[in-house]
Homo-oligomer: A and B are copies of this chain.
Amino acid sequence: MKDFETPADLTKEDVTVLILSAKKRMGLTWEQIAEAIAMSPVWTHSACVGMNAMPPEKADALVAQLELPAEVADVLVESPTKVWSQTVPTDPCIYRFYEIVGVYGPTLKALIHEKFGDGIMSAIDFDMTVTRVENPKGDRVKVEMSGKYLSYNSW
- Residue ranges of A at the interface with B (Cβ–Cβ < 8 Å): 1, 4, 6, 8-11, 14, 17-18, 20-21, 24-25, 29-31, 39-43, 45-47, 49, 51-55, 58, 69, 74, 79, 81-84, 86-128, 130-133, 135, 137-155
Residues in B with CB closer than 8 Å to A8 are 20-21, 24-25
Given A1-B17, A45-B110, A140-B146: A84 and B103 within 8 A (CB)?
yes
Interface of A is mostly: mixed
Number of copies: 10
Q: Is there contact, CB below 8 Å, between B110 and A30? A: yes
Chain B contacts of A25 at CB under 8 A?
6, 8
- Taking CB atoms, residues of chain B closer than 8 Å to A104 are 42, 46, 51, 128
Shortest CB distance A14–B (Å)? 4
Contact A139-B149, Cβ < 8 Å, known A8-B25, A90-B84, A101-B89: yes
Known contacts A51-B104, A84-B102: does B111 contact A130 (CB below 8 Å)? yes
